[in-house]
């Protein structure tokens, strides 16, 4: 107002700028947190933790993936039969890429 001194006006301006700066800082932190959460979920999906059986086939086709010599590829249906539909009773451990199941193939071969 007309009766304010210069120091009071400067003090109010400093308060306004301080609050605005704090608001911008909070917004920036929220954006960084959101980016981190998005990146973390993308990374988990890339590591196979949330990947569906259809995503695996699509990803293999995109990479023009070929199995190495001596490696057998199984269809999901074959694995479901071998592990009794991924029954918890067939869990033998956890590996870097997920849960490891014991399975028995149609010819009687026991696999993990």
Give tens-digit pLDDT for 43-91: 666 555 554 555 555 555 555 556 556 777 888 888 899 999 998 898 8
* CA 62 vs CA 20, 59, 65: distances in Å: 48, 5, 8
Helix (H, G, I), strand (E, B), or coil: what is residue 3? coil
Q: Which residue has the higher pLDDT, 39 or 99?
A: 99
Q: Is the separation of the CB atoms in 94 and 100 below 8 Å? A: yes
Predicted pLDDT of residue 19:
92
What's the DSSP call for residue 69?
Answer: T
pTM for the predicted model, two decimal places: 0.38
């Amino acid at each position: 107002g007309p009766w304010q001194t210069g120091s009071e006006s400067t003090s109010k301006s400093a308060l306004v700028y301080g609050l605005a700066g704090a608001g911008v800082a909070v917004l920036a932190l929220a954006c960084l947190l959101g980016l981190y959460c998005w990146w973390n979920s993308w990374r988990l999906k890339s590591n196979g933790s949330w990947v569906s059986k259809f995503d695996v086939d699509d990803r293999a086709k995109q990479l023009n993936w070929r199995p190495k010599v001596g490696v057998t590829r199984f269809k999901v249906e074959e694995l479901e039969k071998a592990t009794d539909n991924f029954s918890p009773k067939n869990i033998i451990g956890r590996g870097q890429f997920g849960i490891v199941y014991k399975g028995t193939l149609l010819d009687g071969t026991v696999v993990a």
